[in-house]
């Protein structure tokens, strides 16, 4: 009764369609209705072409049944949850609720995705029974990727229904749920809009350039790469006047928001001239392509004229690097003064809103981190600056000091009692709650010392006899230290009472792959024995891990590329976050997978029951995946490439990943025996010839360069087993030796070295 | 020599691979429905049929085992009717007709069903397990050359530019559209029943094709080439079948005779210009029939590519007005194994429809071959 099996979404605009797609990603059957005939169908078609993809796999689109609100309301009859995402007009929403009410089953939840309207207004005139099943569920755009879901209920809302939506939103949709109060803009948009508006009005007032503003308010404050003005371009400048107007009306007269001032004239002119941001002719930034090249330009906030972007580095930045946020805010430059005004106003505003908009600092911080991609939430930033220092600074600047900030005094909003992370509430410090089934490595790290540690990896005891291997190298690239840590784990964990290991970290990316700088070094100085040793070292370690006497479970999130992917391929099981982007991308740097990636993928395709018979399909599938450097766009898609196997798990909520992985490791440990090595029947020279036919076509079509072709031929030699015959079984060791030999041959070419060099310099692949 | 005739012709709708209405239907099932309806429609007593010969270019997977025998079972032909699968790539089902005609000259039966089938959705064009001879591949790679590359080679060799090829393709689409609208496919297409519903119409024809729309396509096989998806026959699913009997048998059993098989031929050529295959084979067949190109009233020249069609037309000095009057494979599609029976049946059908005397059906074959059949009207 409490499960959400079917979801209805009304309104096939960007948000409605995106929510429908994500509900389908979450496994629900979905009904998507729009008032305009065929709009729902068109929205689904459009989403199939959208990047980043709203669907985790294109076939998921089939779970959505499109229709219209004019004819198809009966389709809602068996929906357990109906989400309204139509125009922000209370009268139209209320009319819709009246129309759909008779079609809802008696336990169905109805929610609105409104970002501006109060719940109390939406439920006006609603029957009491439905009112108890009504709430606001506020998703962020794009719904698949933004992890925040704000839920707003009233004391009358049926708790069971709230639990039902929280459970589905959390576990199935993978959202981090913040319970917000029924106040204008809820949490994230209330603070976020204030912040954006303050940044624009203060820049105009203080005569600060767009680029300078983004430089000081961006990276130092942990704001995403777009910066504030870039973010406004992305959101759409034309939305701002509407959002601001709605806050003007909704917020009480004494709200500090009103003091920020009105929309600058320049912004109004830009909008009327069609400069509405990235979707229009450009915004604060634009790409000028008039002379055939792409030149990034930036607007002058005084004159409204565009000029070439200069990427300035104000002195205030070095102050921030040296002395952190406080260094930035106490620097004497104009830019620093600007950053100080905007940040202090915003953080002070946030501090003044607890408990009005949320019960505790953690709710506010999570909302800003997950809804606006801030690296740290407002209270974490205040802690970085120092609450007491901030009180002094506000006083110096003649700004009022929120009571809540005064209350915390010399202390900080967060404290650590080793057992819990505590947060300051009006009633004193209390633990930041962790839901059952949530296990965070940061919590383990806060309260314990690593079992083993070196320069690039740590082993943590995550309880119940399970260890967690964490990478700590730059971008989690794999290097000899990490390999040494795995060796140490394999030999040292059992005697310390551990029975399983999980490989996991809380960085944005699981691992970007092996550190190719070492390969470049070896190749440049022709240290071939060193290159061979490095390859063998990785292969041996991964094999030791695979045949270790205890189970190893990989728990990736974000990118797991190259060596990172190979590591997962050697795990007994993988519990992947749904947003895992897995791939063997070695061809991009001019080599083939050399730490067992070829061998593992071949083994997997060979044992795959659904593949066509004969010796070639596993070879061709593996070739295609590696030669095209295919990266899955989700964990679901990773199954198609066999990076994940049918028995591997996918977890939607990142905060639950480690817990599920640990449970999986413990379950495996109960009856564990290491896997049996693959024996492979590879086709030999005929297989290589077949693959060469394909390579030749690709070169002819201009899809592959001559160096791509060379890499392809080396890969073909590895995957076909070189001089073997289809009747002969060859061992894993033989394929591993072929991997090494292919890389040693490719590393001797200047073009491979150029690829490696460019990747190290720019992070982007070179096609040569 | 005995007089051997085409006494019936049927085919499934031809639909685009992967996205078409037949993509999810097994090829043996499509072919069986065609055979069953050809038999029923012709009125032949099935027990009089000697053999079912089925052409198929990639006889593996669902086209594997001996698909001809299995089609016989599926079509519920009497157990006494044989079944043999034959592969000459694109020429497979025309070869089936040649084999039947030859066997009847040996008094080996009086009636054959010669069919062809290909699901290019379900069995990839190189098969599931392409395993070329590595030694041959290294010293003579053209033995395995992709068809697109051979089409480019011909375009270069014959100086056929993009505009000429596009114009030929537009004409093929126009002729197919006109023929469809005139009902010229009604008699030959049989309905295929599928779990998703009945499939009754061809799916490949693009009636709205223009020179401009083709002009916007990028080369499909070579970055610097002239052959595009619009001037190549599309990957297609479909099956076709003809009833081949002695004239005497047809008369005795009151069958609807379309045309007599006058002469047949196969020939080889360089694999890298396999598209020129129709030239030599047609010349041989015409000579064996004792006629010249000038005597032909109807020509079915398989359009694997516009470039090879144009080159063959040039070398054979064929009259464009007589070629593929109901459209060719660029418009209709080219399910490899099924095409030979389609164009032979079509040539016979048009011959009867237009009252001409001689028809030629000919096609090129991957690996460097040609095949041709000359038909003569029955007086």
Q: Out of A197-201, A264-268, A596-600, A682-686, which region has the weakest mean confidence (pLDDT)?
A: A264-268
Q: Per residue in A723-742, pLDDT tens?
A: 999 999 999 999 999 999 99
pLDDT at residue A226 in the model: 79
Check whether B115 has a pLDDT greater than 50.
Answer: yes
Measured CA to CA, the distance from residue A668 to residue A648 in angstroms comes to: 12
- Residues in A closer than 8 angstroms to B131, CB to CB, are 615-616, 683, 686-687, 689-690
Report how many Cβ contacts below 8 Å link chain A to chain B.
61
Average pLDDT, chain B: 97
Q: Is B217 part of the contact surface with chain A (CB cutoff 8 Å)?
A: no
Measured CA to CA, the distance from residue B66 to residue B87 in angstroms comes to: 11
Q: Hey, are the CB atoms on B132 and A617 less than 8 Å from each other?
A: no
Out of A612, A689, A701, the one facing B137 most closely (by C-beta) is A689
Across A586-608, average pLDDT: 97
CB B146 within 8 A of CB B221: yes
- Residues in B closer than 8 angstroms to A697, CB to CB, are 146, 148-149, 221
Please name the residue that has the structure tokens 């079948």: B241
- Residues in A closer than 8 angstroms to B133, CB to CB, are 686, 689
Q: Per residue in A138-162, pLDDT tens?
A: 999 999 999 999 999 988 999 999 9
Q: Is B144 part of the contact surface with chain A (CB cutoff 8 Å)?
A: yes
Check whether B85 has a pLDDT greater than 80.
Answer: yes
Measured CA to CA, the distance from residue A215 to residue A339 in angstroms comes to: 10
Which B-chain residues 59-88 have CB contacts (< 8 A) with chain A? Answer: 61
Across A686-690, average pLDDT: 97
**Residue ranges covered by each domain of chain A:** 6-180, 188-385, 441-585+631-670, 599-627+680-768
DSSP string spanning B268-303? E--GGGGGGHHHHHHHHHHHHHT--GGGEEEEEE--
What is the set of active-site residues of B?
90, 334, 364
- Residues in A closer than 8 angstroms to B148, CB to CB, are 697
Q: Per residue in A449-493, pLDDT tens?
A: 999 999 999 999 999 999 999 999 999 999 999 999 999 999 999
Out of A613, A687, A697, the one facing B146 most closely (by C-beta) is A697
Report percent pLDDT > 70 for chain A.
Answer: 100
Q: Which chain B residue is nearest to residue A688, measuring alpha carbons? A: B134
Q: Per residue in B220-272, pLDDT tens?
A: 999 999 999 999 999 999 999 999 999 999 999 999 999 999 999 999 999 99
Out of A683, A684, A700, the one facing B222 most closely (by C-beta) is A700
Out of A612, A690, A701, the one facing B221 most closely (by C-beta) is A701
Q: Hey, are the CB atoms on A686 and B134 less than 8 Å from each other?
A: yes
pLDDT at residue A290 in the model: 81
CATH class, A6-180 region: alpha beta
Across A463-592, where does the E strand assignment appear? 466-471, 500-503, 552-554, 558-561, 573-577, 580-583
Average pLDDT, chain A: 95
Kindly report the number of other CB atoms within 10 A of residue A58's CB atom.
13
pLDDT at residue A1 in the model: 46
Q: Hey, are the CB atoms on B148 and A690 less than 8 Å from each other?
A: no
CATH class, A188-385 region: mainly alpha
- Residues in A closer than 8 angstroms to B134, CB to CB, are 684-686, 688-689
Q: Which helix (H) or strand (E) holds A148?
A: strand A148-152
Q: Which two tokens stand for residue A190?
A: 């209330």
- Among left, alpha and beta (phi > 0; psi -120 to 50; other), residue A656 is alpha
Q: Hey, are the CB atoms on A692 and B126 less than 8 Å from each other?
A: no
Interface mutation vs chain B, best among A608, A610, A612, most B CBs within 10 Å: A612
Give how far A691 is from chain B: nearest CA, Å. Answer: 9
Q: Per residue in A118-129, pLDDT tens?
A: 999 999 999 999
Nearest to A411 by CA among A403, A423, A399: A423
Q: Hey, are the CB atoms on A690 and B130 less than 8 Å from each other?
A: yes
Q: Hey, are the CB atoms on B223 and A701 less than 8 Å from each other?
A: yes
Q: Is B223 part of the contact surface with chain A (CB cutoff 8 Å)?
A: yes
Q: Hey, are the CB atoms on A617 and B148 less than 8 Å from each other?
A: no
Interface mutation vs chain A, best among B119, B126, B130, most A CBs within 10 Å: B130
pLDDT at residue A262 in the model: 87
Kindly report the number of other CB atoms within 10 A of residue A573's CB atom.
21
Across B283-298, average pLDDT: 98
CATH class, B262-373 region: alpha beta
Nearest to A105 by CA among A77, A130, A132: A77
Q: Which chain B residue is nearest to residue A687, measuring alpha carbons? A: B131
Across A369-377, average pLDDT: 95
Q: Per residue in A737-765, pLDDT tens?
A: 999 999 999 999 999 999 999 999 998 99
**Residue ranges covered by each domain of chain B:** 262-373
> Predicted ipTM?
0.89
Q: Nearest 5°: phi and psi at A186?
A: 55, -130
pTM of the model: 0.91
CATH superfamily of A441-585+631-670: 2-enoyl-CoA Hydratase; Chain A, domain 1 (3.90.226.10)
Integer CA distances (angstroms), A44 to A24, A105, A279, A532, in order? 12, 26, 20, 50
pLDDT band at A2 (very low <50, low <70, confident <90, very high): low
Integer CA distances (angstroms), B33 to A585, B71, B116, in order? 47, 9, 12
Q: Per residue in A397-441, pLDDT tens?
A: 999 999 999 999 999 999 988 788 999 998 999 999 999 999 999
pLDDT band at B213 (very low <50, low <70, confident <90, very high): very high
């Amino acid at each position: 009764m409490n499960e959400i099996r079917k979801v209805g979404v009304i309104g096939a605009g960007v948000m409605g369609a995106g929510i429908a797609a994500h509900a389908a990603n979450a496994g629900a059957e979905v009904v998507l209705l729009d008032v305009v005939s065929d709009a729902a169908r068109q929205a689904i078609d459009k989403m199939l072409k959208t990047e980043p993809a709203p669907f985790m796999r294109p076939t998921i689109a089939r779970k959505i049944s499109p229709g219209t609100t004019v004819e198809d309301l009966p389709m809602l009859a068996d929906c357990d949850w109906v989400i309204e995402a139509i125009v922000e007009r209370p009268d139209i929403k209320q009319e819709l609720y009246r129309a759909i009410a008779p079609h809802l089953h008696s336990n169905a939840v109805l929610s609105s995705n409104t970002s501006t309207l109060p719940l109390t207004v939406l439920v006006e005139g609603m029957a009491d029974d439905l009112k108890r099943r009504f709430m606001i569920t506020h998703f962020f755009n794009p719904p698949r990727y933004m992890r925040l879901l704000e839920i707003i209920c009233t004391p009358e809302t049926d708790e069971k229904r709230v639990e039902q939506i929280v459970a589905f939103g959390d576990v199935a949709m993978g959202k981090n749920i913040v319970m917000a109060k029924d106040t204008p803009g809820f949490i994230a948009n209330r603070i976020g809009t204030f912040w954006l508006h303050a940044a624009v009005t203060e820049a105009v007032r203080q005569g600060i350039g767009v680029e300078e503003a983004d430089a000081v308010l961006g990276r130092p404050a942990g704001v995403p790469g777009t910066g504030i003005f870039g973010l406004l371009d992305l959101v759409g400048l034309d939305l701002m006047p509407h959002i601001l107007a709605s806050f003007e009306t909704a917020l009480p007269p004494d709200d500090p928001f009103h003091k920020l001032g009105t929309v600058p004239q320049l912004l109004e002119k830009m909008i009327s001239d069609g400069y509405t941001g990235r979707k229009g002719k450009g915004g604060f930034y634009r790409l000028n392509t008039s002379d055939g090249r792409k030149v990034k330009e930036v607007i002058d906030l005084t004159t409204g004229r565009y000029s070439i972007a200069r990427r300035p580095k104000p002195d205030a930045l070095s102050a921030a690097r040296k002395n952190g946020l406080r260094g930035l805010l106490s620097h004497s430059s104009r830019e620093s003064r600007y950053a100080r005004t905007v940040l202090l106003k915003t953080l002070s505003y946030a501090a003044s809103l607890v408990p009005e908009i949320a019960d505790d600092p953690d709710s506010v911080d999570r909302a800003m981190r997950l809804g606006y991609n801030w690296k740290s939430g407002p209270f974490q930033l205040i802690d970085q600056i120092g609450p007491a220092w901030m009180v002094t600074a506000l006083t110096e600047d003649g700004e009022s000091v929120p009571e809540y900030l005064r209350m915390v005094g010399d202390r900080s909003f967060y404290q650590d009692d080793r057992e819990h992370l505590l947060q300051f509430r009006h009633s004193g410090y209390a633990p930041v709650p962790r839901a059952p089934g949530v296990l965070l490595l940061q919590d383990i790290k806060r309260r314990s010392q690593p079992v083993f540690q070196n320069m690039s990896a740590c082993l943590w005891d995550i309880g119940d006899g399970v260890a967690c291997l964490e990478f700590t190298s730059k971008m989690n690239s794999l290097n000899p230290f990490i390999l040494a840590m795995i060796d140490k784990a394999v030999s040292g964990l059992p005697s310390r009472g551990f029975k399983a290991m999980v490989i996991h970290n809380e960085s944005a990316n699981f691992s970007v792959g092996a550190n190719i700088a070492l390969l470049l070094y070896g190749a440049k100085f022709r240290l071939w024995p060193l290159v061979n040793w490095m390859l063998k070292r990785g292969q041996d370690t991964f094999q030791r891990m695979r045949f270790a006497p205890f189970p190893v479970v990989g728990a990736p999130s974000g990118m797991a590329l190259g060596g990172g992917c190979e590591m997962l391929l050697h795990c007994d099981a993988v519990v992947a976050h749904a947003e895992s982007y897995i791939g063997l991308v070695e061809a991009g740097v001019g080599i083939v997978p050399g730490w067992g990636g070829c061998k593992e993928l071949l083994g997997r395709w060979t044992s795959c029951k659904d593949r066509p018979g004969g010796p070639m399909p596993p070879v061709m599938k593996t070739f295609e995946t590696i030669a095209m450097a295919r990266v899955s766009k989700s964990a679901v898609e990773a199954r198609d490439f066999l990076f994940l196997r049918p028995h591997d798990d996918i977890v939607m909520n990142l905060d639950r990943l480690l817990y599920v992985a640990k449970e999986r490791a413990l379950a495996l440990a109960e009856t564990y025996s290491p896997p049996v090595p693959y024996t492979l029947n590879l086709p030999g020279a005929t297989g290589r010839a077949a693959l060469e036919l394909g390579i030749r076509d690709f070169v002819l079509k201009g899809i592959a360069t001559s160096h791509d072709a060379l890499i392809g031929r080396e890969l073909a030699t590895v995957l076909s087993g070189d001089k073997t015959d289809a009747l002969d079984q060859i061992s894993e060791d033989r394929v591993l030796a072929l991997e090494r030999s292919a890389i040693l041959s490719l590393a001797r070419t200047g073009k491979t070295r150029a690829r490696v060099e460019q990747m190290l310099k720019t992070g982007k692949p070179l096609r040569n | 020599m005995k007089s051997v005739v085409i006494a019936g012709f049927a085919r499934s709708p031809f639909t685009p691979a992967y996205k078409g209405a037949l993509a999810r239907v097994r090829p043996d099932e499509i072919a069986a429905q065609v055979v069953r309806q050809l038999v029923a429609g012709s009125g032949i007593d099935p027990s009089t049929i000697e053999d079912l010969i089925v052409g198929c270019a990639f006889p593996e997977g669902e086209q594997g085992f001996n698909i001809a025998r299995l089609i016989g079972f599926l079509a519920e032909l009497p157990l006494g009717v044989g079944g043999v699968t034959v592969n000459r790539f694109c020429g497979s089902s025309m070869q089936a007709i040649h084999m039947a005609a030859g066997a009847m000259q040996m008094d080996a039966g009086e009636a054959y069903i010669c069919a062809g089938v290909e699901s290019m959705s379900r069995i990839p064009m190189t098969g599931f397990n392409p395993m070329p001879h590595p030694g041959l591949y290294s010293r003579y790679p053209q033995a395995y050359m992709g068809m697109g590359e051979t089409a480019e080679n011909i375009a270069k060799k014959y100086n056929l530019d993009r505009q000429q090829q596009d114009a030929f393709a537009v004409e093929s689409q126009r002729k197919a559209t006109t023929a469809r609208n005139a009902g010229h496919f009604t008699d030959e297409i049989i309905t295929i029943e599928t779990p998703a519903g009945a499939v009754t119409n061809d799916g490949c024809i693009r009636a709205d094709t223009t020179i401009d729309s083709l002009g916007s396509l990028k080369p499909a096989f070579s970055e610097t080439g002239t052959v595009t998806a619009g001037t190549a026959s599309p990957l297609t699913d479909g099956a076709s079948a003809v009833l081949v009997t002695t004239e005497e048998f047809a008369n005795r059993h009151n069958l609807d005779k379309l045309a007599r098989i006058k002469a047949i031929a196969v020939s080889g050529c360089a694999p890298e210009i396999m598209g020129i295959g129709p030239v030599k084979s047609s010349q041989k067949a015409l000579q064996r029939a004792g006629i010249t190109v000038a005597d032909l009233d109807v020509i079915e020249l398989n359009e694997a590519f516009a470039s090879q069609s144009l080159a063959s037309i040039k070398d054979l000095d064929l009259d464009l007005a007589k070629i593929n009057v109901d459209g060719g494979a660029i418009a209709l599609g080219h399910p490899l194994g099924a095409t030979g029976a389609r164009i032979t049946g079509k040539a016979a059908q048009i011959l009867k429809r237009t009252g001409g005397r001689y028809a030629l059906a000919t096609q090129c074959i991957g690996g460097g071959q040609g095949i041709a059949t000359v038909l003569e009207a029955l007086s």
